[in-house]
Amino acid sequence: MPPLKPNPHAYAYVTISVADMEQALGLWVERFGMQLVARRDGTDPGLAKAWGLAAPDIVDQALLVTPGMTQGGVHLVRFRLPGAAVRDGAAPTDSVPKSVDIAVSGLAQRYEELKAAGYEFRSPPGKLETNGIVVFETHMKGPDGVNLVLLEQPAHPEHVGPKGFGVAPQIVLTTPDNQREKAFLQSLLGLQETSYNRFGGPEVEKTIGLPKGAALDIRILGDPAYEYGRLELVQYEGVRPANLYPRAKPPARGMLSVTYFVTDFDALLGRGGALGLVSHGRVASIFGDVRLASATSPTGLRIDLVERPAVER
């Protein structure tokens, strides 16, 4: 069972900007079976101001979670004038918010169902094996340039909803310096490194398209006891990636930011000043009438922090 009070080490929502809200809800709710937590059809002046936008620029929003989970959800937002997709023309090694992982039960069947419904994939499901762990995965082309990675781990099945999908165990972010990004996230949020792997050699170079001598550094940050709402940091060593994080700002389409719930907001403000934390004061938004702050990681990921006092049930 998920915790009954906010988990400060798991993101609450990943923000995804969409051009067509009904199309997006058709995917995330109708296909993936996510549960609607809140819907705001209309402007959100408080959040728009915190994001550096004019009051009318946000026109529609939805907060979604996988049934049975409380965090690791999706915040869909539609802007009055949607911009270009963040990942347009991005190379695999560029620094950018890269993909959303989706836990799946019965991947082969889910793949065929989605294909029959008209969704496109970059390849059929394939088998990966790392340190004795077998994972089946496929990459789906989501709306607005968002890459969706459908994953099934037979030996360690992750939580999924009634339709066989679970969103989102983690999102994937490419960075030029995983160590620096990790240190920032640990200092600001206290995230723990739940997994670390480094891959290199001719086979990896060939599979990923890396130059000779390059390698792949992968770190997962979050809470070891809570499998949703984690951040996977991917660094391609031996290459010089383009930094596309400046694109990931409203009103661009695609993955823009993450939102964390914070139980001790005053302590956050106290330690966050040295990390560039900006307080927006009390803001009335889709998250309620709450205090809101934001920070930007060294790579360029925007992190919104929402006060959510611990509630015992």
Backbone angle region of 229, left / alpha / beta, with phi > 0 → left and psi within -120 to 50 → alpha: left
Q: Which pLDDT belongs to residue 207?
A: 60
Cα separations in angstroms, 96 against 15, 167, 173: 14, 20, 6
User: Where are any strands of DSSP class E within the chain?
Assistant: 13-17, 35-41, 58-65, 73-79, 97-104, 126-130, 133-141, 147-152, 165-174, 192-200, 215-223, 226-237, 254-262, 278-285, 288-296, 302-307
Q: According to the model, what pLDDT value does residue 28 have? A: 98
Superfamily designation of domain 1-313: 2,3-Dihydroxybiphenyl 1,2-Dioxygenase, domain 1 (3.10.180.10)
**pLDDT value of residue 313:** 33
Say what the pLDDT of residue 129 is.
76
Question: What would the two tokens of residue 22 be?
Answer: 């009904």
pLDDT of 204: 65
Q: Residue 224 has what pLDDT?
A: 93
SS3 256: strand
Give residue 3's pLDDT.
45
Helices (H), the chain: 21-25, 45-50, 107-116, 178-189, 202-208, 265-272
pLDDT of residue 196: 92
Peptide bond into 183 cis (omega under 30): no
What is the C-alpha separation between 181 and 153, in angstroms, rounded? 27
Low-confidence ranges of the chain (pLDDT < 50): 1-3, 312-313
What is the pLDDT at residue 1?
Answer: 35
Amino acid identity, position 234: V
What residues does each domain of the chain span? 1-313
